[in-house]
Amino acid sequence: MTNNNQQFASDNYSGICPEAWAAMEKANQGHERAYGDDQWTERAAEYFRKLFETDCEVFFAFNGTAANSLALASLCQSYHSVICSETAHVETDECGAPEFFSNGSKLLTAPSVNGKLTPQSIREVALKRQDIHYPKPRVVTLTQATEVGSVYRPDELKAISATCKELGLNLHMDGARFSNACAFLACSPAELTWKAGVDVLCFGGTKNGMAVGEAILFFNRDLAEDFDYRCKQAGQLASKMRFLSAPWVGLLEDGAWLRHGQHANHCAQLLASLVKGLPDVELMFPVEANGVFLQMPEHALEALRNKGWRFYTFIGSGGARFMCSWDTQEARVRELAADIRAIVGS
């Protein structure tokens, strides 16, 4: 049966997936030690180490803004700068939190191609000025999948990592939709992170079926020094930590994290295929993750809104973003496509 409440404005609209819900219910039995000294947090951390094939340091935060901001703060001093894409979430949607938690580190934006940074764009920003009056570049942060739905290939990550090493920069990955990137490329998490030179990953759970909770994975363990203190100071140390970590056990223990990413990606591909070739409807970016970006006339977007559809239009005039999630129903995708077809056809 179709859920007529399902919308495409954001994958944050979705509820909690069954695996996360069941794990939280199990974690709710009896008492457990507080502040992360519990069996669920230990199990989740071990699942991450097994999944990524390395002995990484694992921490948990309530949301992506905190995860990104605290991770970046751990990689630089207040007089340093962070190079990011001009479309990066840390630049456009985190209310200055990266600067706040780093005590002033400046974000420097670099041009991107389909949302992706390139070695050349990083090099241009990093070498633009090297005098003491300019915040010294120290970190590169990239988003996987990007804010426009594109996905970095392993070779692209390795090229960026090589540039970072040459310039003495750490490499951070905002993985709010990391599951979708893995699903699209059919690559292992290790191949898309530390094996390609990534130092720190913020692995998103919220957009993949959890209520709250992001994991911060330090592949370079030296960079994690005192990170637990950062989390505590920022209000990110959950006293009942098991309810942040148990859902990860549910997602990781049998591969649900990847299945949900695959399903969301599939629904996005379906939507793109159903509207392909329609008059006045163009794809703005390749559909590689769970987002479809369409260029449409303003009157068509208004007509869609009048039919009750919700979507974001922050990507320029006539541009609309439609996001699929772990629970998106194909029937609802077809309803949306049918309405688009009817509107532009008329």
**pLDDT tens, residue by residue, 259-275:** 999 999 999 999 999 99
Read off the DSSP letter of residue 105.
P
DSSP string of 121-140? HHHHHHTS--STTSPEEEEE
Contacts of residue 142, defined as CB under 8 A and 6 or more positions apart, other chains included, come to: 84, 85, 88, 116, 117, 152, 160, 171, 172, 173, 174
CB-hemisphere CA count at 13 Å for 229?
Answer: 4
pLDDT of residue 345: 83
pLDDT of residue 48: 98
Considering only CA atoms, which of 168, 176, 167, 236 is closest in space to residue 202? 176
- How many other CB atoms are there within 10 angstroms of residue 219's CB atom? 22
The average confidence (pLDDT) of the chain is 95
pLDDT of residue 1: 39
Distance of alpha carbon 63 from its chain centroid, rounded?
A: 11
For residue 145, cis peptide bond before it (omega within 30 degrees of 0): yes
Q: List Cα–Cα distances, 80 to 40, 105, 148, 247, 334, in angstroms.
A: 36, 5, 27, 35, 48
Contacts of residue 264, defined as CB under 8 A and 6 or more positions apart, other chains included, come to: 11, 180, 183, 208, 289, 290, 324, 325, 326, 328
99, containing H or E segment: helix 97-101
Q: At what angle are helices 256-275 and 242-252 packed, to 10 degrees?
A: 70
Q: Are 211 and 20 in contact (CB under 8 A)?
A: yes
Q: Are 58 and 216 in contact (CB under 8 A)?
A: yes
Give the predicted TM-score (pTM) of the model. Answer: 0.95
User: Is pLDDT of 2 > 70?
Assistant: no
Tell me the chain's radius of gyration from C-alpha atoms: 20
**pLDDT tens, residue by residue, 106-162:** 999 999 999 999 999 999 999 999 999 999 999 999 999 999 999 999 999 999 999
DSSP string of 5-36? T--SS-GGGS---HHHHHHHHHHTSS---STT
Among all chains, which residue has been given the structure tokens 């320029």? 316
**pLDDT tens, residue by residue, 58-100:** 999 999 999 999 999 999 999 999 999 999 999 988 899 989 9
User: Is pLDDT of 317 > 70?
Assistant: no
Contacts of residue 247, defined as CB under 8 A and 6 or more positions apart, other chains included, come to: 16, 19, 20, 21, 23, 24, 205, 210, 211, 213
- Kindly provide the b/e burial profile for residues 74-95, where b requires at least 16 CB atoms within 10 angstroms of the residue's own CB: bbbeeebbbbbbebbbbbeebe
